[in-house]
């Protein structure tokens, strides 16, 4: 058990670390997307535009935070924090390696699912209080989307929890410990759960093809159409933090966390896996068009939900028959 | 008291995907469209009035400004109208070059359509794919006419000047690539599940309604009517070329998209035929120094959007008494109020994108 002081230091280090990861993933996304599209992306600020996210952040900080007429001021001003803070709170339980982690909660994955749901309220507040029809449509879409994708996500996690016999993320990763035998990773034992989780994750962080709440070509910018300056930056950052936290949870649940062939240290394995997943998300963004709201719902309720339920039943049977 | 369950949404004139300054007043029930009322006129520049104060050759530069992707075709329509009123016979070489340029601009128009459609559906990459290839065509245009969008290259009676040396070979080499390019486009979107779900069976326009509204061009053909002015009333030697008219089956968004992809290939084959059989000779007919028209006449051509018409009334002056541009996109936009109700907000964008308009042409 760490002392209170050292725990604080770990948390602080993590906070700074996540900010660096945030900026890095922003840069990576712009570069990856650019190269998918015969472009170079940012090139002028620093070596191959490395300082571009910092320049963007500086711009955001100095911009005026305008409050349009007719908004519900209290809700409008608090909403970005309610979106942003839960995204950061998830970071607390992610085990980067066996030792590098902020908190070792016994109900880790349960905590993650619970905290993630909070941000839905933030999206709703932002959309409702903005006094704008586009953001109202965007907020209605986001609520429908989050509610219908949290269920299959939870059920796919349940299958993993049943196999590991624990809710603790650290123990779930340890259950997949391996050296060269990477077939101990749950992605090979639970491929269906992985696919469902990955699709739901994509919907949860509102990325193409599930970026309906902010659908640029339809709703201009959806729920954050009226936000500017740092408040907008918070909403944007929440999205990128969500991108990293959810993919790292996916790594922990399905890709064996920090375990891998002993050629690289655990931390490197962890980031390698996480950023591979992030890259797949960038790739999807560059390839796919956006789905329509009703198609999104029918995919969630008619395909993912039954599939996740069947997966839970099959997992239960296999555990009962002592196959796993 | 009855509770009002619908809300009005003003989509445009400032909106990322209304392709300029088009405005739709939507009545929404949740996300479902109950009523759609289009509003136009935000880009009205009075081109027809301006034309009344200019001499006949000067008007060519105005027609460039109707549709930025169709400038050659608009110039062609106007020049053909004046030539038919004056009874001028254009040399064969000039006619072939005009056809080649018109078809090349049809190709690049459909490339813009492809990119913008992808953008409107939320896919970013098609836009960059198509604009990269469109750039090649624009480079050819720049070399031929000296400008990329507003060419002012056609003249009454022929062309401003002959083609630069060796450009035909390079255009021919490019047309070899085009089928591969279109294959690549189709790989990116045509088979995509999400794309099909967004396009198939959405925004269905019936054959009868299309004819009653006077809709022309790819949209009319997508409903199954094989009507193309290049075949019906061939102009500028179109009768010399062999090409087919792609026809759709049910007139939904996907048909409208598919027709344009097929037309891209057909236009490419016309360009190849024009280069293969390019005659030698004059590029401009003998034209009176000062053009004066007495009488009136209408001339129409098939541009990438539909039937582009020019109606000229001359009273023996250097300038026309009245000139009217019949712009196809203006007429085609009528379909929105019939097709959109019942769909979702996302369908509004998809359907509007497949109409393929340019506000400069709609508002004139």
In order, the DSSP letters of B4-26 are P--EEEEE-SS-TTSTTT-EEEE
B30 vs B350: CA distance, rounded Å: 18
Nearest Cα of chain A lies from the Cα of B335 at a distance, in angstroms, of: 20
- The neighbour count for residue B195, using CB atoms within 10 Å, is 25
Beta bridge partners of A216: none
Question: Each residue of B151-162: pLDDT tens digit?
Answer: 888 888 888 888
A216 → closest Cβ in B16, B31, B128: B16
B183 vs B190: CA distance, rounded Å: 10
Residue B54, burial from CB neighbour count under 10 angstroms (0-12, 13-18, 19+) = middle
B118 vs B240: CA distance, rounded Å: 35
Interface with B, mutate which of A210, A215, A284, A289 (most B CBs under 10 A) = A289
Q: Does residue A1 carry a pLDDT above 60?
A: no
Task: Give the HSE-up count for residue B180: Cα atoms under 13 Å, Cβ half-sphere.
Answer: 6
Nearest Cα of chain B lies from the Cα of A2 at a distance, in angstroms, of: 48
B134 vs B168: CA distance, rounded Å: 17
For residue A218, the chain B residues in CB contact (below 8 A) are 17, 345-346, 348-349
B134 Cβ under 8 Å from any chain A Cβ: no
Q: Does residue A181 carry a pLDDT above 80?
A: no
Cβ contact B197–A220 (<8 Å): no
Q: What's the confidence (pLDDT) of residue B1?
A: 58
B183 vs A123: CA distance, rounded Å: 41
* Residue of chain B minimizing CA distance to A283: B125
Cβ contact B188–A33 (<8 Å): no
Residue A4, burial from CB neighbour count under 10 angstroms (0-12, 13-18, 19+) = exposed
Beta bridge partners of B10: B25
B178 vs B264: CA distance, rounded Å: 8
User: Percent of chain B at pLDDT above 90?
Assistant: 10
Nearest Cα of chain A lies from the Cα of B119 at a distance, in angstroms, of: 7
Q: Does residue A2 carry a pLDDT above 60?
A: no
Cβ contact B16–A217 (<8 Å): yes
Q: What's the confidence (pLDDT) of residue A306?
A: 92
Looking only at the bridges linking them, the beta strands covering B307-317 and B322-326 are antiparallel
Q: What is the ipTM of this complex?
A: 0.79
Question: Each residue of B326-359: pLDDT tens digit?
Answer: 888 888 888 888 888 888 888 888 888 888 888 8
The candidate with the shortest Cα–Cα distance to B79, out of B145, B146, B158, B147, is: B158
Q: What's the confidence (pLDDT) of residue A166?
A: 85
Tokens found for residue A132: 């704008």
Q: Are A153 and A200 in contact (CB under 8 A)?
A: yes
- The neighbour count for residue B157, using CB atoms within 10 Å, is 23
Question: Each residue of B94-152: pLDDT tens digit?
Answer: 889 999 999 999 999 999 999 888 888 888 888 898 888 899 999 999 999 888 888 88
Nearest Cα of chain A lies from the Cα of B37 at a distance, in angstroms, of: 17
Would you kindly state where each structural domain of chain A is located, as residue ranges?
Answer: 1-62, 70-320
Cβ contact B123–A137 (<8 Å): no
B189 Cβ under 8 Å from any chain A Cβ: yes
Cβ contact B122–A208 (<8 Å): yes
Element (H, E) at B308: strand B307-317
DSSP assignment string, A230-288: HHHHHHHHHHHHHHHHHHHHHHHHHS-TT---TTS-HHHHHHHHHHHHHHHHHHHHHH-
Least confident of A13-17, A273-277, B73-77: A13-17
């Amino acid at each position: 058990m760490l002392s209170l002081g050292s725990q604080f230091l770990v948390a602080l280090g993590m906070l700074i670390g996540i900010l660096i990861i945030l900026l890095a993933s922003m840069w990576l996304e712009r570069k990856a997307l650019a190269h998918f599209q015969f472009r170079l992306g940012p090139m002028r600020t620093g070596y191959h535009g490395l300082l571009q996210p910092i320049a963007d952040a500086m711009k955001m900080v100095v911009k005026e935070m305008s409050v349009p007429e007719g908004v519900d001021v209290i809700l409008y001003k608090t909403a970005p924090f309610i979106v942003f803070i839960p995204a950061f709170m998830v970071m607390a339980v992610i085990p980067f390696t066996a030792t590098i982690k902020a908190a070792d909660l016994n109900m880790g994955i349960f905590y993650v699912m619970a905290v993630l749901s909070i941000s839905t309220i933030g999206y709703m507040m932002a959309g409702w209080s903005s006094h704008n029809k586009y953001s109202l449509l965007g907020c209605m879409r986001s609520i429908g989307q989050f509610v219908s994708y949290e269920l299959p996500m939870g059920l796919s996690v349940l299958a993993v929890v049943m196999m590991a016999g624990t809710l603790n993320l650290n123990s779930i990763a340890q259950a997949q410990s391996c050296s060269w035998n990477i077939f101990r990773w749950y992605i090979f034992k639970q491929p269906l759960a992985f696919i469902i989780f990955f699709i739901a994750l994509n919907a949860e962080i509102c990325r193409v093809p599930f970026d309906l709440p902010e659908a640029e070509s339809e709703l201009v910018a959806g729920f954050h159409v009226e936000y500017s300056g740092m408040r907008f930056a918070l909403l944007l950052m929440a999205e990128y933090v969500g991108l990293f936290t959810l993919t790292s949870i996916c790594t922990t649940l399905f890709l064996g966390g920090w375990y891998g062939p002993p050629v690289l240290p655990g931390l490197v394995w962890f980031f390698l896996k996480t950023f591979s997943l992030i890259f797949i998300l960038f790739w999807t963004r560059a390839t796919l068009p956006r789905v329509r709201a009703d198609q999104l719902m029918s995919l969630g309720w008619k395909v993912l939900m039954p599939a996740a339920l069947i997966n839970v039943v099959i997992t239960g049977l296999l555990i009962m028959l002592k196959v796993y | 008291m009855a509770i009002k369950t619908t809300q009005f949404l003003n989509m445009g004139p400032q909106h990322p995907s209304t392709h300029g300054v088009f405005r739709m007043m939507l009545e929404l029930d949740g996300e479902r469209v109950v009523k759609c009322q289009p509003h136009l006129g935000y880009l009205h520049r009075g081109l027809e009035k301006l034309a009344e104060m200019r001499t006949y050759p000067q008007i060519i530069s105005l027609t460039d400004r109707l549709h930025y992707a169709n400038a050659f075709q608009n110039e062609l329509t106007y020049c053909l109208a004046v030539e038919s009123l004056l009874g001028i016979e254009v040399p064969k070489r000039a006619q072939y070059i005009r056809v080649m340029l018109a078809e090349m601009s049809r190709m690049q128009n459909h490339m813009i359509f492809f990119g913008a459609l992808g953008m409107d559906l939320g896919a970013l990459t098609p836009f960059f794919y198509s604009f990269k290839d469109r750039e090649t065509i624009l480079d050819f245009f720049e070399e031929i006419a000296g400008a990329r969008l507003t060419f002012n290259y056609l003249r009454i009676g022929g062309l401003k000047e002959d083609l630069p040396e060796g450009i035909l070979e390079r255009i021919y080499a490019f047309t070899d690539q085009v089928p591969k390019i279109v294959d690549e486009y189709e790989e990116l979107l045509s088979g995509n599940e999400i794309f099909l779900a967004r396009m198939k069976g959405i925004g269905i326009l019936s054959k009868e309604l299309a004819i009653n509204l006077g809709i022309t061009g790819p949209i009319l053909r997508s409903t199954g009517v094989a009507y193309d002015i290049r075949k019906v009333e061939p102009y500028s030697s179109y009768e010399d070329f062999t090409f087919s008219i792609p026809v759709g089956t049910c007139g939904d968004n996907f048909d409208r998209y598919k027709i344009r992809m097929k037309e891209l290939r057909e236009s490419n084959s016309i360009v190849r035929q024009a280069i293969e059989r390019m005659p030698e000779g004059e590029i401009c007919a003998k034209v009176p120094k000062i053009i004066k028209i007495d009488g009136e006449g209408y001339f129409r051509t098939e541009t990438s959007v539909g039937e582009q018409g020019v109606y000229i009334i001359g009273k023996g002056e250097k300038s026309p008494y009245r000139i009217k541009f019949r712009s196809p996109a203006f007429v085609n936009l009528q379909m929105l109020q019939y097709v959109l109700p019942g769909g979702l907000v996302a369908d509004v964008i998809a359907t509007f994108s497949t109409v393929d308009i340019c506000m400069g042409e709609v508002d004139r």
